[in-house]
Structure 1
Amino acid sequence: MIEIEHLSKHYGETIVVDDVSLRVDEGTITVVVGTSGAGKSTLLRMINRLVEPSAGRVLIDGQDTMSIPEDELRHRIGYVIQGHGLFPHRTVAGNIATVPRLLGWDAKRIAQRVEELLLLFQLDPAEFAKKYPHELSGGQQQRVGVARALAARPALLLMDEPFGALDPLIRSKAQDDLLTIQRRLGTTVVLVTHDMEEAFHLGDMIAVMDEARLLQYGTAAELLTRPLPGFVERLVGTAERPFRLLSLAKVGDAVEPGSAEGEPVDVSSNLRDALSRLIWIGSPTAPVADASGAIVGRISVDGILAHGRRPT
């Protein structure tokens, strides 16, 4: 667990982070979102002391980070930046092995960890281990960057706009990959973005910052149904809010008894995608199938829209 208590950063008379307090529970993803210059990246860098706070403190599992030697602290925390920061002169395997080598792991243990991570990120070791970053696609570079950050099994992973340089299709796949791997490993993640859609897709908790201050901290559903008036309300969006609520719910939440014609919708799909499909095919209903392919009921436009209404 991470506890951020009254954290501030001043550069002369300029305040870039102003009295921010929040708690990040173990095994969750917290997304810090806001416009450029809001203080998001500075807040992130104060967690691993790339930036020293002017006031306040950060506790990781109850231990004040100021009591931990800087090198030791950063070896315990994975860090991923936009563009991934891969060393161009090192192979994929060499990049992933960076922190384990600094920690003095033996060659056999490093090789096993590199292979394990390449397989986890669906990169065939025989094909990718000896490649250099320039030989990889943007999505492959992103996966190697995250694999490198996870190499020493950190309990905490910090990510600063990690998907910002990717095109939309690769970005969506990279986000889904992160969710899959985070759930498998149970890593605690703090991620910075300016993209509200990304925040809603990834975040168990979302922290909204503006002009150096934390304005609201809550779940996606809380921000969508009870946004703080003003900046948060504008950032969440009025017209988009029902559709964003639908993206948080699964088809399984709105399955109705009965049958329907057409190709089945997967029970694990989100309701926004299901609504888009029904509108596209011009049908009021569609059958719903579970993971085994068995039909478990149907989904309807009316049923989906009922889930998109703001709670009273």
Structure 2
Amino acid sequence: MIEIEHLTKRFGETIVVDDVSLTVDEGTIAVFVGTSGAGKSTLLRMINRLIEPSSGRVLIDGQDTMAIPEDDLRHRIGYVIQGYGLFPHRTVIENIATVPRLLGWDAKRIAARVEELLDLFQLDSAEFAAKYPHELSGGQQQRVGVARALAAKPALLLMDEPFGALDPVIRHKAQEDLLAIQRRLGTTIMLVTHDMDEAFHLGDRIAVMDQARLLQYATPAELLTRPAEEFVERLVGTAERPFRLLSLARVKDAIEPGPSQGEPLPVSATLREALSQLVWTGRESLPVTDASGAILGRISIDGILAHGRQPA
């Protein structure tokens, strides 16, 4: 658990983070959104003390971070930035092994961990281990950057605009990969983004910041249905709200009995994805399958609209 208590940062007379308090539960993803200059990245960097707070404190599992030597703290926290910060003259293996080597792991343990992460991130060792960052695509660099951040098995991962440099298709895949890995490892993640769709897709809770203040910290559904302030309502987007609500629900929530024709949808798809596919194909319904490919029923436009009319 991460507890942020009255965290404040001043640069001269300017307050860039103003008395922020919130709690991030273990094994969840907290996403920070807001306008440029709202204080999101500064807040994130105070967690691992890349920036020292002016006042307030951060507790990780009850321990005040100010009581932990800076190097020890940063070795315990993974950190991923836009551009991934890979060392250009080190291979993929050498990049991933950076923190374990600093911690003095033996060579056998490092090799095993690197191989485990290459497999986890679907980077074939024979193809990628000896490559340098400039030989990788943006998506591959992103995976190596996250793998490096997770190499020493940190309980907390900080991510500052990690997908900002990726094109939309690769970005969506990177988001799905992160969710799958987070569910598998149970890592607590704090992530900064300017992309509201990304925030709603990834966040268990979303922190909305403006002018250094925390305006609301809530679940995606709460932000959409009960915005605390006008700024939050504008940021969420009135026109996009129905579609974002659909993105919070899955096909399994609106599945119907009965046959249907067409390319099946996985039961794990969101209702927003299902509606897009139905509109794109011009069909009133599509079959739904489980992970094994077995037909579970169907999803229809009427069923999705009926689900959307249910009270929040």
TM range (shorter): over 0.9
Q: How does 1:172-251 map to 2 (within 5 A)?
A: 172-251=172-251
Structure 1 gap ranges (5+): none
Give the Cα–Cα distance (whole angstroms) in 1 for the partners of residues 39 and 92 of structure 2.
Answer: 32
Which residue pairs with 2:168 in the alignment?
A: 168
Structure 1 stretches of at least 4 aligned residues deviating more than 4 Å after TM superposition? none
Query: How many residues get paired?
Result: 312
Which residue pairs with 2:302 in the alignment?
A: 302
SS of residue matched to 1:308: helix
SS of residue matched to 2:31: strand
Give the Cα–Cα distance (whole angstroms) in 2 for the partners of residues 255 and 274 of structure 1.
Answer: 11
Give per-residue Cα distances to partners, 1:153-207, cap 9 Å, x unaligned. 1100000001111111111111111111111111110000111011001101110
Which residue pairs with 1:102 in the alignment?
A: 102
Q: Does 1:90 align with 2:120?
A: no
Give the Cα–Cα distance (whole angstroms) in 2 for the partners of residues 68 and 160 of structure 1.
Answer: 22
Q: Is this contact kept in 1: 2:215–2:229, CA < 8 A? A: no
Q: Is this contact kept in 1: 2:113–2:151, CA < 8 A? A: yes
Q: Does 1:8 align with 2:8?
A: yes
Letter in 2 for 1:273: E
Q: Is this contact kept in 2: 1:208–1:216, CA < 8 A? A: yes
Letter in 1 for 2:118: L
Give the Cα–Cα distance (whole angstroms) in 2 for the partners of residues 83 and 98 of structure 1.
Answer: 17
Give the Cα–Cα distance (whole angstroms) in 2 for the partners of residues 52 and 255 of structure 1.
Answer: 50
Q: What's the TM-score once normalised by structure 2's chain length?
A: 0.97
Which residue pairs with 1:66 in the alignment?
A: 66
Give per-residue Cα distances to partners, 1:60-88, cap 9 Å, x unaligned. 00000000010100000000000000011
The alpha-carbon deviation at position 310 of structure 1 amounts to 6.9
SS of residue matched to 2:3: strand
Which residue pairs with 1:291 in the alignment?
A: 291
SS of residue matched to 1:159: strand
Give the Cα–Cα distance (whole angstroms) in 2 for the partners of residues 116 and 179 of structure 1.
Answer: 18
Letter in 2 for 1:208: V
Give the Cα–Cα distance (whole angstroms) in 1 for the partners of residues 310 and 93 of structure 2.
Answer: 49
Q: Is this contact kept in 2: 1:242–1:309, CA < 8 A? A: no
Q: Does 1:277 align with 2:277?
A: yes
Give per-residue Cα distances to partners, 1:225-252, cap 9 Å, x unaligned. 1112311000101111011111111111
Q: How does 1:122-137 map to 2 (within 5 A)?
A: 122-137=122-137
Which residue pairs with 2:117 in the alignment?
A: 117
Q: Is this contact kept in 1: 2:40–2:209, CA < 8 A? A: yes
Give the Cα–Cα distance (whole angstroms) in 1 for the partners of residues 119 and 146 of structure 2.
Answer: 13
Structure 2 gap ranges (5+): none
Which residue pairs with 1:143 in the alignment?
A: 143
Give the Cα–Cα distance (whole angstroms) in 1 for the partners of residues 163 and 264 of structure 2.
Answer: 32
Which residue pairs with 1:153 in the alignment?
A: 153
Give per-residue Cα distances to partners, 1:119-176, cap 9 Å, x unaligned. 1111111111111111111111111101110111110000000111111111111111
Q: Is this contact kept in 2: 1:225–1:310, CA < 8 A? A: no
Give the Cα–Cα distance (whole angstroms) in 2 for the partners of residues 22 and 74 of structure 1.
Answer: 21
Letter in 1 for 2:221: A
Give the Cα–Cα distance (whole angstroms) in 1 for the partners of residues 94 and 161 of structure 2.
Answer: 24
SS of residue matched to 2:89: coil
Give the Cα–Cα distance (whole angstroms) in 2 for the partners of residues 95 and 137 of structure 1.
Answer: 16
Give the Cα–Cα distance (whole angstroms) in 1 for the partners of residues 143 and 106 of structure 2.
Answer: 24
The alpha-carbon deviation at position 261 of structure 1 amounts to 2.9
Q: What's the TM-score once normalised by structure 1's chain length?
A: 0.97
SS of residue matched to 1:157: strand
Give the Cα–Cα distance (whole angstroms) in 1 for the partners of residues 101 and 290 of structure 2.
Answer: 45
Letter in 2 for 1:307: H
Give the Cα–Cα distance (whole angstroms) in 2 for the partners of residues 11 and 174 of structure 1.
Answer: 35
Q: Is this contact kept in 2: 1:4–1:23, CA < 8 A? A: yes
Give the Cα–Cα distance (whole angstroms) in 1 for the partners of residues 22 and 274 of structure 2.
Answer: 35
Letter in 2 for 1:50: L
Q: Is this contact kept in 1: 2:257–2:297, CA < 8 A? A: yes
Give the Cα–Cα distance (whole angstroms) in 2 for the partners of residues 160 and 195 of structure 1.
Answer: 12
The alpha-carbon deviation at position 260 of structure 1 amounts to 2.5
Give the Cα–Cα distance (whole angstroms) in 1 for the partners of residues 45 and 209 of structure 2.
Answer: 15
Give the Cα–Cα distance (whole angstroms) in 2 for the partners of residues 8 and 309 of structure 1.
Answer: 42
Q: Is this contact kept in 2: 1:175–1:202, CA < 8 A? A: yes
The alpha-carbon deviation at position 307 of structure 1 amounts to 2.3
After superposition, the CA RMSD in angstroms is 1.2
